Amino acid sequence: MTSRERVIRALRFENPDRVPRDLWYLPGVEMFRKKELEEVLNKYPSDFTTPKYRYGISRRAKGKPNVAGEYVDAWGCVWRVAESGVVGEVKDPPLKDWSALKNYQPPWELLEEADLSEVNRSCTETDKFVRIGTEVRPFERMQFLRGTENLFLDLAYGVKEVFILLDILHEFYIKELEMWAKTDVDGVSFMDDWGTQNSLLISPKLWREIFKPLYKDYCEILKSHNKFVFFHSDGHIEAIYSDLIEIGIDAINSQLFCMNIEELGKRYRGKVTFWGEIDRQYILPFGTVEEVKLAVRRVRRALDTGRGGVIAQCEWGLKDPKENIEAVFEEWNKPLEV
C-alpha cells in the first residue's frame, strides 16, 4: 500500500494497513537540529508531502522570518521574534487604526504571480499523499492586521469595518483555494486558532454567524473538485467540532489534551479523521518516553477503531527530546489494543 493509498483509506475509514504518519516541526528544529530531524524522518518516514510550486514575490515583505529580531510579512504585519527558531508575534498591526483600511490591499501578487506549472507533475511523481497548506486563516489574519484586543472589541460591537476587512480577506482566500482546487493535489489545509485552554475565544453563536459561512464556502470549493479538506486549530474547540464536520472537513488537527479526549471519541469517532495530536505543552517537552507512550495509548483507545479515522501526527518543539518524538511513532506502529 502506498502512502497516498494509506492516507486516503484512513480518511475514508477503509482499513489502511497502518496509521499514516505526519511529523510537524518548528523552524528551529530544522535550523539547529537537522541531523536529528533527518534521523527521525529516515526511521519513520512521513506519508505526506507537498508539491513543487512558488508563490509570487511580496511587495511588502522584509527581513527574515524565524530569526531573532523583526520582519515584515507579505501582508504588511510586523513580527517580532524573541528567539531564533520560533515564529514570533505580531507587534505592529498595519490596521490598528481603521483609517488605514481605505487603501489596504491584500498581497494579490502572491497569487497572480504564482508558478504552479510543476504541481501536477510533482504529484504524479510521488506515491505520497500530496497536501498543500494555504494562507487561509481569516480570524488569525484579522488579528495580525488589526491587533487581537482591537479585533475582539470590533467583533463584540459589530463595527462595519470588521466586515469590510473580512470581505477583503475572503475574496483573497476564495481565489487561493480555487487556484489549488484546479490542480492535482490530494488535499488542501487551512487554519485558525480558535481556542483558549478551556473554551473558544469568541462565543460559538458568534462563530457560527460570522466564520462558519466562510469555512463552508472554502469546503464547497474544495469538495467540488474532489479534494480532501484538512483544518487545524489550537486550543479547546469542542464547541465547534460538529460544525466543522457538518461543513465537510475531513480531518481536524486540534489540541486533544486541552479537551475530553474520550468524549470526543464517543461523539465523533467514525465521523471525522482525528489528525493528531500528542500534547505539546507538557508531555512532549517535559514527559518521559513512557509518559509519551501512555499518551498515545490514551488517544488510540479513545479515537482509533482500527479501520482508519486517525493520523499519527505530532509537533516537534525546539527543545523537545528526540526520544519523545520517536516514542510517538513507535507506539502508533504497535497493534491496536482492543
Taking only the tens of pLDDT, the chain with its 338 residues reads 999 999 999 999 999 999 999 999 999 999 999 999 999 999 999 999 999 999 999 999 999 999 999 999 999 999 999 999 999 999 999 999 999 999 999 999 999 999 999 999 999 999 999 999 999 999 999 999 999 999 999 999 999 999 999 999 999 999 999 999 999 999 999 999 999 999 999 999 999 999 999 999 999 999 999 999 999 999 999 999 999 999 999 999 999 999 999 999 999 999 999 999 999 999 999 999 999 999 999 999 999 999 999 999 999 999 999 999 999 999 999 988 76
For residue 268, the tally of other CB atoms under 10 A from its CB is 19
51, with CB counted inside 10 A (0-12, 13-18, 19+), is buried
Distance CA 336, CA 306 (A): 7
**Domain limits of the chain?**
3-57+94-333
Query: How many residues are recorded in the chain?
Result: 338
Q: What is the pTM of this model?
A: 0.96
Q: What is the pLDDT of residue 325?
A: 98
Q: What is the pLDDT of residue 338?
A: 64
Residue 214 contacts residue 240 (beta carbons within 8 Å): no
Distance CA 55, CA 147 (A): 26
In Å, what is the CA distance from 331 to each residue of 77, 128, 306, 323, 325? 41, 22, 14, 12, 10
Q: What is the pLDDT of residue 70?
A: 97
> What DSSP designation does 227 have?
-
Domain 3-57+94-333 has CATH 1.20.1440.230: no
Dihedrals phi, psi of 14, to nearest 5 degrees:
-115, 40
Q: What is the DSSP string of 33-67?
A: -HHHHHHHHHHS--SEE----BPPPPSS-BS-TTS
Q: What is the pLDDT of residue 337?
A: 77
Q: What is the pLDDT of residue 207?
A: 98
Q: What is the pLDDT of residue 335?
A: 87
In DSSP terms, which residues pair with 188 in a beta bridge?
A: 132, 229
Distance CA 236, CA 308 (A): 24
Reply yes or no: is the peptide bond before residue 277 cis, omega within 30 of 0.
yes
Cell numbers linked to 256: 486533544
